[in-house]
Chains A and B, each alone.
Chain A
């Protein structure tokens, strides 16, 4: 028990230093959502820490003496890193570019060299097995660090991670819904992500309830049943619905995380429930599909006083464009950029400097609406132009 306490202390320290280093440009997005975040039962420590972050002088990270000393410790070491997202998408592209940005900064400041390898299935078949064999292959090739986000079974992956650790490869997970598993069963060094329950599902449910004044009918378009993300987000969303007895989930359908299925599902549900007040798309692509269904059905989109509220989750440039255009009501930005920067920092601290890192590192997430969309979008756009790609 005391062990976990110590770890969480370390985590807090690690995070606050890191966020001092990384939070350039977070700005209004975070500040606007801190209120919402603190409403959750499990507030991510990074939430408040990141908001206090300030900009460091360009090029220098910890002051010139610190930088020079760290550079000595690094001694020009080359780090071979493998990164495997479950699929290539806009979301993971934002994350990869953010990682590149941070890698370039660390390389400039400390002389650490990166060898980056990306590996993602195309979704045709054997996607899950492919990721398992990818991690095994990287282990065989003695990679220094491996970053994984996967739909493969939890228990299977823990075996794969243990094998990797035994042969000297440090495994980190990102964007993985680890919160629905027992912490001591997770055999990675660290997990960089967010709590899908409190930092995504709950936020979406609460936003809908608050916007509609606690009363209304909701349709949910879910990801594939059985997926860990779907399970976790649904727990949070259901909690928010339960806190608002006036809210009623009237219909639910499987949108498979893709737009055309989200569109079809929303069209079909709108046929049966024409009087809905809100649609919850469990990811952004499905929310955008639902948006098209609402438009095609000639129904009114939320304009601040009435219409159908539509909220997604991911935080994509394309979703934010839709918010700017006044179509999508809101989305949950789950920190694609911060996840990318943070997992690079975590690897640097742990693998290169040999420091301890927290087992669960949660980045800030935020509800993006018309009010704060400019800041959120600028942050991602900035990350999409890294100084160097790997």
Chain B
């Protein structure tokens, strides 16, 4: 009996990971690309992908927290642009680099705070409040700059912080920042009372209210984390681009939400993990990288991206169906 169930148990344990589908797709994508293009599976390309994915990853981490509490944050792309702009401006007007970087992150967190207040105190739907913030932050950046990119803030240290210069090989500072962010978010979600409350709030808002969870505070903090992540992403992108154009971050909210959901977060709340966000960001970044390397005609790019997205969720669904079936099988065997 044991001899028969062991492999199936190992299989179901593998599938027990909520990101199993996305991981499977990732493996297939990597293997196929490596076979077709010898330059794909190289250290240099791994460096490219990890540096390119940092932005979507950071935003997806914040988005995951918001999604877990049952919200959604459409403003991250605009917040990223505006906070990068303000941070860069403080440096050009003579503030030391550290002040500039802290300003960028603080502006991000502050805009997140405003989102949170609009949602909890004014009672706006999450979608509407953050959609308004998307418009207001982007409009403010355009009005303020008049369309002219902000330049002149690239102090020598900024090249290191943004990963443009790589004193430690392809493990750049942005990658280190991303790793720290992943670990922190994972720990907060898994091991703190904030994390427990967030999951509880997302899976059953009414029960959370009745059991005395400080709903407003949990929500506001979630949006602040999301805003902070957008600020950090903006800080790195300002360095990577060496200018802050008013279009910076345009459309990134969609990539962030997609990455979080591919990684197992749900729009209804209560589901998601930091690890899942990593997988989701990897799927998106490797797809974009593969499209460029394979030389897919740019007309077809969107079709391919959409196809991969659909595959990712279908894989996820199939793996969870298998998971459910093997669980049923296991209980039946246990009863027998």
* A and B found bound together: yes
Question: Are B37 and A272 interface neighbours, CB within 8 A?
Answer: yes
In the complex, A329→B201 CA distance in Å? 56
B232 to chain A, nearest CB (A): 16
* Mask: chain A, 71-95; 1 = CB below 8 Å from B; 0 = not: 0000000000000000111101100
Residue A175 at the B interface, CB < 8 A?
A: no
Question: Are B243 and A268 interface neighbours, CB within 8 A?
Answer: no
Residue A248 at the B interface, CB < 8 A?
A: no
Question: Which residue of chain B has its CB nearest to the CB of A124?
Answer: B138
Residue A289 at the B interface, CB < 8 A?
A: yes
Give the contact-size bracket for chain B: 35 or more
Among B44, B147, B163, residue most surrounded by chain A Cβ atoms (within 10 Å)? B147
Question: Are A264 and B288 interface neighbours, CB within 8 A?
Answer: yes
A305 to chain B, nearest CB (A): 25
Among A225, A251, A271, A285, residue most surrounded by chain B Cβ atoms (within 10 Å)? A271
Interface members, chain B 33-53 (any A CB < 8 Å):
37, 39-40, 42, 44-45, 48, 51-52
A320 to chain B, nearest CB (A): 12
Report which of A89, A226, A251, A271 forms a contact with B299, defined as CB distance below 8 A.
A226
Residue B308 at the A interface, CB < 8 A?
A: no
Query: What's the tally of chain A residues with a CB closer than 8 Å to chain B?
Result: 38
In the complex, A259→B297 CA distance in Å? 20
Question: Are A120 and B164 interface neighbours, CB within 8 A?
Answer: no
Question: Are B247 and A264 interface neighbours, CB within 8 A?
Answer: no
Question: Which residue of chain B has its CB nearest to the CB of A230?
Answer: B298
Residue B250 at the A interface, CB < 8 A?
A: yes
> For chain B, what secondary structure do more than half of its interface residues adopt (helix, strand, loop), or is it mixed?
loop
Question: Are A295 and B147 interface neighbours, CB within 8 A?
Answer: no
User: A272-B37, A318-B149 are contacts. A285–B245 as well, Cβ < 8 Å?
Assistant: yes
Question: Are A90 and B48 interface neighbours, CB within 8 A?
Answer: no
Residue A55 at the B interface, CB < 8 A?
A: no
Interface members, chain A 55-112 (any B CB < 8 Å):
87-90, 92-93
* Mask: chain A, 221-232; 1 = CB below 8 Å from B; 0 = not: 010111000000
Question: Are A292 and B240 interface neighbours, CB within 8 A?
Answer: yes
Query: Contact residues of A with B, CB < 8 Å?
Result: 87-90, 92-93, 120, 122-124, 222, 224-226, 251-254, 258-260, 263-265, 267-269, 271-272, 274, 285, 288-289, 292, 295-297, 318
Given contacts A122-B138, A258-B245, 19 further A-B contacts (CB under 8 A): A87-B247, A93-B147, A123-B247, A222-B298, A225-B299, A253-B292, A259-B241, A259-B243, A260-B241, A264-B289, A264-B292, A268-B288, A268-B293, A269-B292, A272-B37, A274-B39, A289-B241, A292-B164, A296-B163
